[in-house]
Homo-oligomer: A and B are copies of this chain.
Amino acid sequence: MSPRTKEQYDDIRESKKKLILDSALDLFANQGFHATSISSIAKKAKISKGLLYNYFESKEKLLMEIMNSGIQEFIDYFDTNEDGILSDSEFKYFIEMSLLTLKSRTNYWKLYFALALQPTVFSILKKKYRKLIESTLAIMEEYFKNKGYKNPKMQALMFGAFMDGISLNYVMDPENFQLEEIKDYVIKSYLNLNDDEN
């Protein structure tokens, strides 16, 4: 057989890297970053400890890559509204996508909340998230303002808190927290309010 091409090698590298990222995310999310050892990640990914360091230069860097790739995915989802103005259907889409990503990337969000609670660990990531959160809040504020709310800033803040609370409850016990039903509840609560339940 002929030796592998550059592309094949890259494919292997890429898929192995993903394997490590996924293994680490699962463990970090469910046991905590500090309680997860490099050994256990390597074991879960069925590779040697040494190889892991071939892909990530430290445990912290590994965490950073996990978090960065996660936030990027999130940004990509919501990148559509670059004008900063939210229509009702875009607002609905935002809610739907938020709850969808919660379901498809539960471990990521679990880890996100755990890290967000620990300033020491989080400080490095904070900048990136803060920007995202602030811009999201601003868009929401604008949305509520256009809807005629008296205090759109507070309204946006509380909407954010509400979504966070739902997210938190979901990641803490995904089995017993029915997202479908909740999605309907949230959309109904926010979109049909002034229509009098349509």
Contacts and interface: CB of A to CB of B under 8 A. Distances in A.
Given A154-B185, A162-B162, A32 B168 contact: no
Nearest to A163: B165
A47 interface: no
Contacts of A121: 31-32, 35
Interface stretch (A63-71, A75-83, A87-95, A109-117): A109-117
A5 interface: no
Contacts of A198: 196-197
A111 to B, nearest CB: 8
A35 B120 contact: yes
Interface in A155-177: 157-158, 160-166, 168-169, 171-172
A57 interface: no
Contacts of A185: 151, 154, 158
Q: Is the interface of A mostly helix, strand, loop or mixed?
A: helix
Interface in A3-47: 30-35
A121 to B, nearest CB: 7
Interface of A: 30-35, 110, 113-114, 116-121, 151, 154, 157-158, 160-166, 168-169, 171-172, 181-182, 185, 189, 193, 196-198
10 contacts: A32-B34, A32-B121, A110-B117, A113-B113, A113-B117, A117-B117, A151-B185, A154-B181, A161-B162, A161-B168
